[in-house]
Structure 1
Amino acid sequence: MTITYSCVANGRAVLAELALTGGSYQEAVATVLKLVLLRAEPKTIMQMGSFVYHTLFIDGITYLCATDNALDTITPSAFLKNVSETFLRNPLMSQEHFSPSNAVAADFQQVLGKYMMKYNKNQDDTPISTLRSQVTDVKNIMSQNIDEILESENRLSIFTDRTDDLQTTAKESPKTRKALRRMWRKHFRKVIIITVAILLSIIIILLSTNVIPA
């Protein structure tokens, strides 16, 4: 995930902004700021075009950033929290005449850039990256287990073929039938356990990234 754009706005007036990639954000940002003011919710997440817009609304000031990934909501939230704290610590930010042409606004663009570079650089250390790594490990283990099951089933198939050959000369014994049933039940349980584990892993990552509301 990459934070590609960020801004600070008073109402619908953008005070300071910075885009790390080309493209026009102005139209989408204007729409998002309008919706934020109408809803007056502390936090919002909106998808517009190919970007996801995250906002933090505090005392009429909107802190906004755009990302290229809808799954990670933890990193944008931490970014906006840092930006808001820095903004509110500066006494000049409360001046009535603060505007985009103000020198303080121009300086704050550097603050946005610093935090954007920080959070984009540290993606490997985020909880979502750790979670993805864990899920990848689980998937690898699942793949190994499936390979073992397939190999076992292949051996079982060979054994079954041999048993069928024996049936042409001798009637299958009750012990053989019981052994086959036990083997099939064992492999069936393995398949069920692996399927449930994969489903649980998917649910966990969706809950952790807020794709499914907790």
Structure 2
Amino acid sequence: MTITYSCIANGRTVLAELALTGGSYQEATAKVLRLVLLRAEPRTIMQMGSYIYHTLFIDGITYLCATDNALDTVAPSAFLKKMKYNKNQSDCMISTMRSQVTDVKTVLTQNIEIILEKEEKSNIYLDSTDDLQTPVEEFPKTRKISRRISWKHFKKILIITVAILLSILIILLSTNVIPT
């Protein structure tokens, strides 16, 4: 038994392929990928021409290999598992992504702390200047104005925080760090 062809595909797009022998695998591979997507079964074995195509379909990614022997299914299955579980690149990518997310969280926390400090200082200055300049009967009005300003700043901070957290969540979901 010889594995003569292998590829990795996202949907019907072949991402990487290797052919050990000459031959036209593209047409058969396109048919196999179409059938795998239609069936959406985790494992399939099908014959096209003189080759047997073994597939492993997980999370929209298809791992495919072609053999010249229909009787052996153990070796192709083991080969497909090795293709899927190549941990060196994915672990490195995940750890890189996690460190980037941690960096974004740190910067976000620092920015929020700076904004809160500046808002607190501005409120102190607003309160002190309002107290000095306004007569006693207008004092409740100035408190309402400063509360409105504080509320506007709070809403801005809240919106920015939610937007950044949503973008982090989208990044984590798109890179499959958080499984869907």
Higher relative contact order (CA 8 A, sep 6+): 1
Higher alpha-carbon Rg = 2
Return the TM-score normalized by structure 1.
0.42
